[in-house]
Structure 1
Amino acid sequence: MWNYIAFEELSALELQRIYKARVDVFVVEQNCPYQEVDDTDLESTHIFKEENNELCAYMRVIPTEDNIHIGRVLVARSHRKSGLGRELVARGLEYIETIYPGMPIYAQAQAHLEDFYGSFGFETVSEVYLEDEIPHIDMIMPAKELG
């Protein structure tokens, strides 16, 4: 089952699983020491799937004045190559289009995922740059016409 939960509604156990998965992927697996837990979590909607008391996939959705930002997109190592990443992003975009219709969507993506995000309609709007020593690009999905 997919969960769409504001920070203040997360249980302590859900929050622990989210933080553990994010640190596992973005700090340990990618060998990237940085402040993984940040204040942006407080204003985000957390979208995730759990099975057998394990977080399988996760992303956060952050509303800003100009666009909606998606971030911390991950699939747990044990669930990769299953199509879960594609399902996660599709569900996140569906949520955004429902809750924030007509807003462009921004992703700061690791450069090797450019084609993956491009397949959803994201367009690259920057050159490759290093963020925490990992090549990244900025991508935007233009706002859809309301009608």
Structure 2
Amino acid sequence: MNISIKNFEALTLEELYGILQLRSEVFVVEQDCVYQDLDGKDKKALHIIGTKDNTIVAYTRVFKPGDYFIEASIGRVVVKASERQYGYGYNIMMASIKAIQEYFNETTIKISAQTYLKKFYSSLGFKEIGDGYLEDGIPHIGMLKD
């Protein structure tokens, strides 16, 4: 998997379409969750894009402190279902953590994690904070990495 990092203005129409298609495929269809994915925050985000054979197979968006949470943050973490056995989730998260360090000079990162992925995020150094909550009808937990 090749990873590229782009701000919103640098995304091609094809890349933007691929990102939105993957997010919809996983978050709306696979997880059966009707929610407003186009939340207006993509313009502020740095987009971490994982491609394989010219297809987007993994993706996150990252924010500098104050643009989403008080801390820097990573969101919309997604890997195409057919590609999950290759460790791309770990790869895209490591690239996202590194991008926050390099682009924003930050090491403290907050995420809103789907509860069933706590073990995965813990393996990347994130620790649970606060109580669980529902976000778009799906159980989540706040997690922080220092």
Q: TM-score higher than 0.5 here?
A: yes
| Consecutive unaligned residues in structure 2, runs of 5 or more | none
SS of residue in 1 equivalent to 2:85: coil
Cα distance per residue 1:73-132 (max 9 Å; x no partner):
011011012111111111111111112224410100000111111111111002121111
When the two chains are superposed, the root-mean-square deviation of aligned CA atoms in Å is 1.1
The more displaced of 100-109 and 52-61 is: 100-109
Q: Which runs of 4+ in 1 moved over 6 A?
A: none
Counterpart among 86, 102, 110 of residue 98 in structure 1: 102
CA contact (8 A) 1:67 1:103 kept: no
SS of residue in 2 equivalent to 1:120: coil
What is the TM-score when the length of structure 1 is the normalising length? 0.92
Indicate yes or no: 2:68 matched with 1:61: no
Counterpart among 73, 78, 88 of residue 77 in structure 2: 73
Q: Distance in 2 between matches of 1:42 and 1:118?
A: 29
- 1:46 is aligned to 47
After TM superposition, the structure 1 = structure 2 runs for residues 1-147 of structure 1, keeping only pairs within 5 Å, are: 1-65=2-66, 66-142=70-146
SS of residue in 2 equivalent to 1:41: coil
Q: Distance in 2 between matches of 1:92 and 1:38?
A: 20
1:15–1:102 Cα change, 3 Å: closer
SS of residue in 2 equivalent to 1:137: strand
CA contact (8 A) 2:72 2:108 kept: yes
Shift of 1:13: 0.3
Aligned positions, number: 142
What fraction of aligned residue pairs are identical, expressed as a percent?
A: 37
| Consecutive unaligned residues in structure 1, runs of 5 or more | 143-147
Cα distance per residue 1:4-63 (max 9 Å; x no partner):
000011000000000000000001111100101121100001001112231110000011
Q: Distance in 1 between matches of 2:115 and 2:77?
A: 14
What is the TM-score when the length of structure 2 is the normalising length? 0.93
